[in-house]
Amino acid sequence: MKSKKTIPNYRDYLNLDSLLKSQKLISEKRGKKAHDEMLFIISHQVYELWFKQVLYEIDSIFEIFEIELIDESQIGIAVSRLHRINEIIQLLIDQIKILETMTPMDFLEFRDLLTPASGFQSGQFRLIENKIGLLSNDRHNYGGKDYKDKIHEDEVDNIKDSENSESLFTLVENWLERTPFLLSEDYNFWEQYKSAVSKMILNDKKIIEKNKSLNDSEKESYFNQYNATEKMFNSLFNESVFSKMIDKGQFRLSYKATHAALLILLYRDQAILHNPYRLLSKLIDLDELLTTWRYKHHLLATRMIGKKIGTGGSVGATYLKKALTKHRVFEDLSSLTTFLIPRSDLPNLPKSLLRNMSFHYDTAED
């Protein structure tokens, strides 16, 4: 029989005594309590708690993708964990509405007391960015300083380790490169796909040519657009050209991984590609949600401080705005829509290949 001391208690289990005493108002210590400082502290503490959960989920996804031969059911688990991460980030975006109940004048009552403390110093958020796959060279910095200069000394080693370790991007890239069904002895999908693309573009050009409602100048403009599209499509079928585009920073995902991801998007209706498609979709959602979070944070900073210097020393709102697009990680996946063609124009796959891409039961008797 359990004694009273061993029976779980809600307050003790959640360590509420310590948690609820961790809000220390600087303004109160200075003798002039600012009411909205409590909201500011709790909101950011909640952010950090959710960041901890996001890191916990990311690490569990790492464990799945670090195995060379990944079972299909494990991809489903990774999808569910990514979905949870995305729901958390959506919650963090929605939480900004609560901060917006604080007016700029309310914030000014305690803002100067925070300096030089800033959200830039959140080691957990920098860990999230690094573990997802944001490269140091792709970061938007300010003042020519390394972002780690702002991190607490107790967290710097973890941040450095995350810079030099596998990321979600690299693990997914490696997994995509192992995707089968790209080639077989008697069938080359990419030759078929290239033919289908050429046919689609040629048909579209014919439609433009025959369109009597367009004048010569408009037709020329459309043709130029299609020529640019055709050039981009051609890069997909030429590894050396694609590699040069990677070197220029136009793509980051490898040639083989890009092919695999595109194949998954094109044939996502095949049973075996359902979870891989959901995984890629969740990664795109993750990128977009983080961009939305940065954008909402940018709007909040603009609303609260205008063009003033942020408490961390940057031109707060301006920095956040510039980081919006520069800090995207899975943009290559979302850009793959450039290479999609209508279902009706997709190459017909051989029956043997379709059978391998479908779940089926062998009912033959011994």
From CA 168, how far away is CA 329, in angstroms rounded?
Answer: 10
| 282's tokens | 């969740």
Question: Residue 354: its pLDDT value, please?
Answer: 73
pLDDT at position 365: 46
Are the CB atoms for 34 and 109 separated by under 8 Å? yes
H/E stretch holding 195 reads helix 189-210
Structure tokens at 99: 């901060």
| Domains of the chain, CATH where assigned | 22-182+235-344 (1.20.58.480)
Give the tens place of pLDDT for each residue, 278-328: 999 999 999 999 999 988 988 888 888 776 554 444 445 566 666 666 789
CB 57 within 8 A of CB 44: no
Pairing of strands 187-188, 183-184: antiparallel
Element (H, E) at 219: helix 216-235
Q: What is the spatial distance between Cα 280 and Cα 54, in angstroms, rounded to a whole number?
A: 18
pLDDT digits (tens, 9 = 90+) for 141-199: 766 678 888 888 999 999 999 999 999 999 999 999 987 655 666 677 888 888 888 88
The pLDDT value given to residue 17:
95
Give residue-wise pLDDT tens across range 126-151: 999 999 999 988 887 766 678 888 88
Whether residue 253 has pLDDT greater than 90: yes
Mean pLDDT calculated for residue range 343-353 = 80
- 3-state secondary structure at position 188: strand
